[in-house]
Amino acid sequence: MPSDKTHMSKPIPDRAEVAIDYPDKFYVGTFERSSRFEAHLDERGVTLTLERAGDAESRKSVYLHINYELFAEILRDLAATVAIMPPDDVEHRRSLAEAAGLLHQALAIKGKGKRETRPRARGARA
């Protein structure tokens, strides 16, 4: 699945690790701040693409598509495990809560058709 470089405009703000374990092979890769990502909804679910540029030895891409019902279950499971986060990890709690709120806000908009812009984060200017 080739990527469209025009959409890969967001640098990864932290780090992602990916592991795939087959019976005869094990693949692992990390994507850090020098890597890029894209996430969007389509007619069937959520698409996530992670890309790390570089030479043939270091270049890698991961494409993941999750249908809506599975993604909803993943969100429920995440909500059920929030208590595992350290209570004093205010920065990550705030960031996750804000992002979940923006998703909730975007889903609440009815009858607007395709949305071209992202909902504004708290404190963002118009």
Question: Residues 104-122: what's their mean pLDDT?
Answer: 68
Tell me which residue has tokens 């949305």. Answer: 115
Dihedrals φ, ψ of 108, to 5°?
-75, -20
pLDDT at 42: 95
Judge whether 123 lies within some domain. no
Q: Residue 105: helix, strand or coil by DSSP?
A: helix
Judge whether 117 lies within some domain. no
DSSP 8-state symbol, 14: S
The angle subtended at Cα 20 by Cα 19 and Cα 22, nearest 5°, is 145
pLDDT at 19: 96
Range of the domain at 98: 10-108
Judge whether 124 lies within some domain. no
Q: Which percentage of the chain shows pLDDT scores above 90?
A: 74
Dihedrals φ, ψ of 61, to 5°?
-140, 145
Judge whether 65 lies within some domain. yes
Q: How many domains does the chain have?
A: 1
Judge whether 126 lies within some domain. no
pLDDT at 80: 96
Judge whether 114 lies within some domain. no
Are the C-beta atoms of residues 37 and 53 closer than 8 Å to each other?
A: no
Judge whether 88 lies within some domain. yes
Judge whether 1 lies within some domain. no
Q: With a threshold of 0.95, does the pTM exceed it?
A: no
pLDDT tens readout for residues 45-93: 999 999 999 898 889 999 999 999 999 999 999 999 999 999 999 999 9
pLDDT at 63: 95
SS3 content of the chain, % helix, strand, coil (to 5): 30, 30, 45
